[in-house]
Amino acid sequence: MFAMKITLIVMGALLYLVGTLGWFFWAGPGLVGIGTTDALLYAFAGTCAWLLISFGLAIQIIKTARPTAGGGSNP
């Protein structure tokens, strides 16, 4: 079970890294370089999507590390 969990974590981290590098060094600059209104809107939307994914990933990591955080008081 541990091998499956570590494999999923490593694959997720690798996918996130490849997606981040691909967006900021290939797709994003390409869209900004085109300079049309549509391309700039796509670049903005892609950056917003990347920010949402990053924020969601950070929340997931925090909730996994501290499952009782933010749950209120335990009577």
pLDDT of residue 34: 95
Q: What is the pLDDT along the chain (75 residues), one digit of tens a residue?
A: 788 989 998 999 999 999 999 999 999 999 999 999 999 999 999 999 999 999 999 998 888 887 776 665 555
Q: Where are the domains of the chain?
A: 20-65
Task: Using alpha carbons, list the distances in angstroms from residue 41 to 21, 28, 31, 44.
Answer: 20, 11, 9, 5
pLDDT of residue 73: 55
Burial class (CB in 10 A: 0-12, 13-18, 19+), 9: exposed
Global pTM?
0.78
Of 18, 61, 10, the C-alpha closest to 69 is 61
Direct distance between the N- and C-terminal alpha carbons of the chain, in angstroms, rounded to an integer? 34
